[in-house]
Amino acid sequence: MRTSLVVLAVAGALIMSTALTPAYAQARTDVRVGLVLEPPNLDPTAGAAAAIDEVVYANIFEGLTRFDANGAIIPALAESWEISGDGLTYTFHLHSGVKFHDGTGFDAEDVKFSFDRARAEGSVNAQKALFADIASVDAVDPRTVRITLSRPNGNFLFNLAWGDAVIVAPESAETNATKPVGTGPFAFIEWQQGDHVDIARNPDYWGTPVRLEKATFKFIGDPTAAFAAMMAEDLDVFPNFAAPETLSQFASDPRFEVVVGSTEGETILAMNNSKPPLDNPKVREAIAHAIDRQAIIDGAMFGYGTPIGTHFAPHHPDYVDLTAISGYDPEKSKALLAEAGITDLTLSLKLPPVEGYARRGGEIIAQQLAAIGIKTETTNLEWAQWLEQVFTGRDFDLTIVSHTEPLDIGIYARGDYYFQYKSEAFNQIMADLGNETGPAERSELFKAAQTRIAEDFANGFLFQLAKAGVQNAKLKGMWVNAPTQATDLTGVYWEE
Amino acid sequence: MFPFLLNRLVSLALSLLAASIVIFFVLEVVPGDPAAFMLGMNASPDTVAALRHQLGLDAPLLERYFYWLFGLFRGEFGISYTYRVPVAQLVGDRLWISLPLAIYALALSTLIAFPVGILAAARRNSAADVSIMGITQLGVAIPNFWLAMLLVLAFSIGLRWFSAGGFPGWNAGFLEGMKALTLPAVALALPQASILARVMRSSLLDTLSEDYIRSARAKGLTRRQTLWRHALRNALIPVLTIIGLQFSFLLAGAIIIENVFFLPGLGRLVFQGITQRDLIVVKSVVMILVFAVILVTFLVDMTYALVDPRLRRQA
């Protein structure tokens, strides 16, 4: 024992003296990406975790359509498509020469398999609702797929762009969780659980080959550790940097670039619409007017974030700025409370474990509510507890959460969704939207939907979550915004 | 020696059984459904039910306990809910980081503490003793995560000798692996070395005031000879006890250091398992740690017998 200890110690001393830093001469072809959360598995069709898509979306797996950097829907595995006049039949023409990473060919049968699997009865797809309108999927010939819907769905091409709708092969579907096999420009190499995932360029890619040869995703949950890793240049980019208070330090360092964009995360003060006295619109209106959005953005998010007045992303072309409807006006709040006959009110405020918007934001909101005479009882929860108590159990008055799914205003039509907003008028707008495929009409309906929930004060609408990232100043081609949760590396390269 | 060993083994088995009952049922009480956690905010209730069935969460509690317990006997710990790989494989991977890190840190701490502690005791009240006592007092007081951050600032961000954390994997080479573990091991070792050096010093001072030491001196041995031949060996028992405790702590308790250096060790596996409600991982890892601690205590008992012949005869 004693001798082996000595050997170890000598080895340790040697290592300390021979430590080197790597030097890079030419333009690099690898990239090291820092992510806050490690994905629980790598199968985007069997789990809700955004961290899965942050590794595999567009890199390893592809769907028939996909989101581009600005959130537009563009073709992916489907070269083109036709939609029948009644909006019920979609015919997709697939790219030829596409192969999965294990060498098996890709054809219409794989598409049929993927969608039938996702919508099957025992499916564990976290976004099963995306496929709810599909009546049948038919492989017409190896390069043509016909999907028939049970009712028109103006969102269908958008739904197919989600990470949950990627195409998988029957041969590898069961093992994608640990050994993902897709059709994308990068192939999976190795996953060192708890530390990193390596992917490398797929030499047989059907489309434009990527410029990077290799990419590593490293998982660093602790903000201080993330800061150290960026500063020590152990990482080249951290697209969602968890320590906004240090961003100014990176901005003033010529080695780095700070990139601030928008996300699909509508951050809301959700209210339990069915629980007295919050079932009274006057009380919800009073709470809405008590909120000073800019104070929350400055205090909790270090200034990063865009105020919203409804549940819609400000960068979306159909967004309407409705912040004035629920503008900051504490005097009006007090008057509304008096009108509703509320004198001594204490509400529970249950916060998920998000340091920024939830925990810091919760303190600020508690103060702002205290200013109009509403007391709050704050409880800090873990995610699993939050899902059980708030989301499933509906045992809450108020909570703060960011809804990060793209274009998810439809949750207000779900009646039994956790905040339990119920409105016939809103449901009608959503039903019309489902049947409508004309772009101008759809735009009008989206605007009407936004106005409806804003005027009903369904929730307190706070701000759109910003995406603040840090990257090496020579790295180009990363997404600025996050139209979906992804780290698309297909256009990334190093400037020489 | 044999009945003693048998006795210890039976009590070891009973402790493990008791631990398995406590661990399994206490964790069942924890609120939060693993399936709901994995599927997130948009999933429909029937999807959650389908996943619960797939994970075997809908079986009765007792049935699941016995299934888990018999699995443990066969060395099967079940399948992780979130990672979907066998828990044994996850633990195996993590152990290859936690175990070398614990040994590395313990080696450093022992190598520092022994000479320092002996020097302080041999030169009691000298300038060397006073400064050693001062420095080790500071070492005991400094939290290891703070020391870790200082090390990162100095050696990773400043000098760029080491990466700020992470682990390249042993297949990147032994030296690369050891290099990645060096800063964490130093951060863990220095506070431990301070404690150990102080224990070494006081234990040695106690022994040096014993009658047999005076006899040895009277017989004509020099101070140095008495120290090395008689005092040191007798002073080792409390030091070994502390080393045993420290090893258990380093194996299971390096979680904060693992977070600072984002090392994929056992501590972080448990931490992730708890937040993601991957209860099968938590249960199995805690069980393995309990086993490790009991085993280390057992081995320390055995070394007492090696150091002190009287204990051997009693047994």
Asked whether residue A225 is domain-assigned, the answer is yes
- Indicate which CATH number applies to the domain containing A250: 3.40.190.10
* Residue B246 confidence (pLDDT): 86
Asked whether residue A184 is domain-assigned, the answer is yes
Do A339 and A332 form a contact (C-beta atoms < 8 A)? no
* Residue A86 confidence (pLDDT): 87
A249 interface with B at CB cutoff 8 Å: no
Q: With beta carbons under 8 A apart, name residues in chain B contacting A40.
A: 38, 82-83, 276, 278
Provide CB contacts within 8 A for A87, sequence distance 6+.
A149, A152, A153, A154, A435, A437
Tens digits of per-residue pLDDT, A397-440?
A: 999 999 988 889 999 998 889 999 999 999 999 999 888 878 89
**Is the same domain home to A149 and A196?**
no
Q: What is the 3-state secondary structure (H, E, C) of A5-63?
A: HHHHHHHHHHHHHHCCCCCCCCCCCEEEEEECCCCCCCCCCCCCCHHHHHHHECCCECC
> Hey, are the CB atoms on A229 and B44 less than 8 Å from each other?
no
**Is the same domain home to A140 and A206?**
no
Asked whether residue A24 is domain-assigned, the answer is no
Do A214 and A198 form a contact (C-beta atoms < 8 A)? yes
* Residue B259 confidence (pLDDT): 83
Closest to A79 in 3D by CA, of A125, A111, A51:
A111
Q: How many domains does chain A fold into? A: 3
**Is the same domain home to A291 and A251?**
no
> Hey, are the CB atoms on A38 and B272 less than 8 Å from each other?
yes
Q: How many CB atoms lie within 10 A of CB A137?
A: 20
Most confident option among A17-31, A417-431, B240-254, B294-308: A417-431
**Is the same domain home to A405 and A474?**
no
Q: Is A276 helix (H, G, I), strand (E, B) or coil?
A: coil
> Hey, are the CB atoms on B37 and A403 less than 8 Å from each other?
no
Closest to A469 in 3D by CA, of A228, A247, A240, A217:
A240
* Mean pLDDT over the full length of chain A: 90
Asked whether residue A349 is domain-assigned, the answer is yes
**Is the same domain home to A298 and A383?**
yes
* Mutation site for A-interface testing, chosen from B37, B108, B151, B266 by largest number of A Cβ within 10 Å: B37
Distance from CA of B113 to the nearest CA of A (A): 13
DSSP alpha helix (H) spans, chain B: 2-29, 34-39, 45-54, 61-73, 87-122, 127-141, 144-151, 174-208, 211-218, 223-226, 232-252, 255-260, 266-275, 279-307, 309-314
- Indicate which CATH number applies to the domain containing A326: 3.10.105.10
The closest CB to that of B166, out of A123, A234, A405, belongs to: A234
Asked whether residue A42 is domain-assigned, the answer is no
Asked whether residue A150 is domain-assigned, the answer is yes
Q: Give the 3-state secondary structure percentages of chain A, helix then strand then coil, rounded to 5.
A: 30, 25, 45
**Is the same domain home to A428 and A360?**
yes
Q: CA angle at residue A224 from B152 to B147, to 5 degrees?
A: 40
> Hey, are the CB atoms on A194 and B162 less than 8 Å from each other?
no
**Is the same domain home to A247 and A308?**
no
A177 interface with B at CB cutoff 8 Å: yes
Do B135 and B120 form a contact (C-beta atoms < 8 A)? no
**Is the same domain home to A353 and A477?**
no
**Domains recognised in chain B with CATH numbers:** 2-74 (no CATH), 90-314 (1.10.3720.10)
Q: For residue A135, name the pLDDT band (cuts at 50, 70, 90).
A: very high
Tens digits of per-residue pLDDT, A438-464?
A: 889 999 999 999 999 999 999 999 999
A17 interface with B at CB cutoff 8 Å: no
Asked whether residue A46 is domain-assigned, the answer is no
B92 interface with A at CB cutoff 8 Å: no
Provide CB contacts within 8 A for A369, sequence distance 6+.
A287, A290, A347, A375, A376
- B183: closest chain A residue by CA: A16
Distance from CA of A334 to the nearest CA of B (A): 34
pLDDT tops 70 at residue A1 = no
Do A453 and A409 form a contact (C-beta atoms < 8 A)? yes
**Is the same domain home to A364 and A339?**
yes
Distance from CA of B150 to the nearest CA of A (A): 11
- Indicate which CATH number applies to the domain containing A149: 3.90.76.10
A98: containing domain: 62-173
Asked whether residue A14 is domain-assigned, the answer is no
Full DSSP string of A331-398: HHHHHHHHHTT--SEEEEEEE-S-IIIIIIHHHHHHHHHHHTTEEEEEEE--HHHHIIIIIIT---SE
**Is the same domain home to A330 and A420?**
yes
**Is the same domain home to A79 and A140?**
yes
Four-point Cα dihedral A99, A103, A107, A110, nearest 10: -110
> Hey, are the CB atoms on A195 and B169 less than 8 Å from each other?
yes
Tens digits of per-residue pLDDT, A315-337?
A: 888 999 999 999 999 999 999 99
> Hey, are the CB atoms on B160 and A382 less than 8 Å from each other?
no
**Is the same domain home to A211 and A196?**
yes
Q: Is A271 helix (H, G, I), strand (E, B) or coil?
A: strand
Do A323 and A306 form a contact (C-beta atoms < 8 A)? no
Q: Tell which of A147, A173, A199 closes a domain.
A: A173
A371 interface with B at CB cutoff 8 Å: no
Tens digits of per-residue pLDDT, A73-132?
A: 999 999 999 999 888 999 999 999 999 999 999 999 999 999 999 999 888 888 888 999
pTM: 0.80
